[in-house]
Amino acid sequence: MTNFKDRVRELVTEKASVLCIGLDAALPRQRALNVVPEAYFVDADDNEGRLNFSLNIMSQTALFAVAIKVNEQYMRGLTAIQHRRLTEFAHQHKLVAIYDSKLGDIRDSVESALFHYHEWGYDGITFNPLAGNLKEVVQIARKFEPPIGILVLTLMSNPEAEKYMRHAVVDGKPMFMVVAEEVRECEADGCIVAATGHVTEEDIKAIRRVVGSDRILLVPGVGTQKGNPEKVLRAVGRNTLIVIARDVIYSDNPGNRALEYSRSLRPLAQL
């Protein structure tokens, strides 16, 4: 079977898009704005409602997107069967399914988590590198068929992320650069690098330089989080996925919004 990186590349070329739809399916009672419409919960429980909303978003956007990112913090409580419905639907629509779990744990627990992600049908996951065991995790992820792609949190968007990711220093280098080196050396599939807040064009270029052109950069923060698309377009290089979540999924016309993003980001698909 095709590995994660190759599958992403194939779809980027085929669809001429680098768009990854972020499925942040919030329940109506959970907050005031940006929630799944009430209509999805008529005669459906929390799980069915969030699942059907997600399937509907995929139907509308799949022509213009190459991946979905399922945010665990919003999709908590779905069963294995429901996750499988979600990933099978994604695959039928030629979308790579990324589970945004920010996994970070000791070996036995990582093995258990990957066992479940694999049964649920996800192609790739997000990983928190704090426990230092990326090499081991990549090796475990490779044993599955197909191998599970590992995308590593490298530089996050929130202002406080600088505290450790930038200001913690290993051998004179900021932590995010050491994480990028670890991604290259351990042959992980790529990095998650925000495109907003304290993250500069130079930061993104430096990370790309370290990991090389063949790794995936997964870049959130361009939509609602107010990332600067020009900065991103200049810095990320080829093999990039741009995540747009609420700007697409909670818009009046998700298909049109996805098309607009896909077009404005098309130069990245043609690098």
Residue 147 DSSP code: P
Q: Which stretch binds a second copy (CB under 8 A): 61-69, 123-131, 205-213, 248-256?
A: 123-131
Q: E strands, the chain, where?
A: 19-23, 67-71, 96-103, 124-127, 149-155, 169-170, 173-174, 190-193, 216-219, 240-244
The interface with a second copy within residues 130-159 (CB under 8 A) comprises: 130-133, 135-136, 153, 156-158
Select 102 or 231, whichever has its Cβ closest to a second copy.
102
By the rule CB under 8 A, 247 interacts with a second copy: no
Binding mask 34-63 for a second copy (x = CB under 8 A): ------------xx----------------
- Both tokens assigned to 225: 């989080």
Which is nearer to a second copy, 196 or 262 (by Cβ)? 196
Q: Measured at the alpha carbon of residue 55, what is the angle toward residues 51 and 61, in degrees to the nearest 5?
A: 140
The Cα–Cα gap between 56 and 165 comes to 36
User: Using the 8-state DSSP alphabet, how is residue 235 labeled?
Assistant: H
Among 169, 209, 234, 263, binds a second copy (CB under 8 A): 169
**Residue 121 vs residues 9, 29, 161, 186: alpha-carbon distances, Å:** 19, 29, 31, 23
User: Of 62-70, 163-171, 231-239, 254-262, which part binds a second copy (CB under 8 A)?
Assistant: 163-171
Nearer to a second copy, 133 or 239 (CB): 133
The verdict on 102 binding a second copy (CB under 8 A) reads: yes
First and final C-alpha spacing in the chain:
25
| Interacting residues with a second copy (CB under 8 A) | 24, 26-27, 30-31, 46-47, 71-74, 76-80, 83, 102-113, 115-116, 120, 128-133, 135-136, 153, 156-158, 160-165, 167-170, 175, 178
